[in-house]
Amino acid sequence: MVTDSSFYSGNREALKSRLDGDTVAVFFAGEIKDMSADTSYRFQPDRNFFYLTGITRADFVLVISSDETVIYAPAKDSYKERWSGKRLTHEQISGISGIDVSCVKDLELCEEDLLALAKSGNKIALDGSSIMKGPRKFKETITKQGRQPLDISPVMTELRLIKQPYELDCIREACKATEEALDEMKKLIRPGVSEYELATRLEYEMARRTSQIFAFETIVSCNTNVFYLHHAEPENCGEGVAREGSVIQVDCGARVGGYCADISRVYFVGEPEEGDRRMLLLDLIRQLRREAFSFIAPGKTFAELNSQMYDICKRWLDKQGLISDNLPNNVRDYYWHNTSHYLGLDVHDTGNRTRKFTGGECLAVEPGVYIPEWGIGFRIEDDVVVTPDGCELLSSGRDDPEGIIAR
């Protein structure tokens, strides 16, 4: 999904409106990181830099003040491009970001300009949340000159937390592509299929609908591997091979326009028999999901949502004889992870987890229960946006047995 540059221009204007007149904010796209002597990791830009520019290339620097926006970019260089690929022209940068072409400058000018900025009387704001080297290096430089930069990251968190229509459309499209890929993957499920086969098909189907950069490492886990919540190394033997009666947990997400989907699905291999504990646990998870979607609304919190889930789960676990007031076990022995988290440019997106929900926030909702004594456990996850009076699904919300049982 492609947007015009007005989205990024609007984000910069929103930031400018929160800057004091004498404050200059500096953002770094980040640098390519070496994997070995002649190989690098796939580059992804700093999220706040991307939010303000739409640029996905390394080594860019963005400088924003109340009256000017300048972006520095690696210059066109035919020899370097021969080895590392095409670089963007100033016109292309302007077209993507909406920054006037006269304000696109070659990167070689950046260091001198930043040093001049450090000596100026302006306040300097840097992104304290960035994991890139640029902000840290520049902070060290100006600190030596007796300047203490401001941290702009809280402002960026507030801006990114409330999603605009374009952002919601991207997440919906990412969810749609993810679920279509899951439907294709499900066709392979049978006794004898491996985690590796399922994961590679799933990633192929997501990639051909969106891009090769997914929201996070795809998780496909069979049998007792479901007890490793981030089982991101799919196996093709042993517990990594499905058999009649297996549970298969899948957790995956495509990325569209930089925005993430985060969807978990569970599949049962073979027709359940009467009294099948997989179906018993499925009933609980579906109940938890219904209650979670009904509970989420402006004014509620993550902590309150978790508490609601624990209460329901405790009663169910007690009924199954798994916990009681006379046993040392508690709900968290079976309800291992939080019910929800923010979603956006990162799969666990930026945001204060203690604040009350506000309309426009996107959440991934994933109640999950894991029972080692039974040898089964799973979660089902969908994505929502908080609305003025509740929440709205961005993904399908499917959890019917017909879609879960692989016959």
What value does the mean pLDDT take over residues 152-178? Answer: 98
Inform me whether the pLDDT recorded for 328 exceeds 90: no
Give the pairing of strands 382-387 and 23-28. Answer: unpaired
SS3 162: coil
Contact of 349 with 160, CB cutoff 8 Å: yes
pLDDT number for residue 283: 98
Q: Is 184 exposed, middle or buried (CB count within 10 Å of its CB: 0-12, 13-18, 19+)? A: middle
- Rounded CA-CA distance 115/331 in Å is 56
- Rounded CA-CA distance 153/132 in Å is 13
pLDDT number for residue 8: 98
pLDDT grade, residue 38 (50/70/90)? confident
Amino acid, res. 351: G
Q: 165-406 maps to which CATH number?
A: 3.90.230.10
- Rounded CA-CA distance 381/265 in Å is 7
Inform me whether the pLDDT recorded for 82 exceeds 80: yes
- Rounded CA-CA distance 367/336 in Å is 9
Q: Which residue has the tokens 């991101």?
A: 232
Please, where in the chain does CATH 3.90.230.10 lie? 165-406
For residue 292, the surrounding DSSP H or E stretch is helix 277-295
What value does the mean pLDDT take over residues 323-351? Answer: 90
Inform me whether the pLDDT recorded for 85 exceeds 80: yes
Please, where in the chain does CATH 3.40.350.10 lie? 6-160
Summarize pLDDT for 267-276 with one digit per residue, the tens: 999 999 998 9
Summarize pLDDT for 86-131 with one digit per residue, the tens: 999 999 999 999 999 999 999 999 999 999 998 888 999 999 999 9
* Phi, psi (deg, nearest 5) at residue 228: -105, 100
The mean predicted confidence, pLDDT, of the chain is 96
Between residues 38 and 33, the one the model is more confident about:
33
SS3 108: helix
What value does the mean pLDDT take over residues 31-38? Answer: 91
pLDDT number for residue 67: 86
Share above pLDDT 70 across residues of the chain, in percent, rounded to a whole number: 99
Q: 6-160 maps to which CATH number?
A: 3.40.350.10
Between residues 1 and 231, the one the model is more confident about:
231
What value does the mean pLDDT take over residues 242-256? Answer: 98
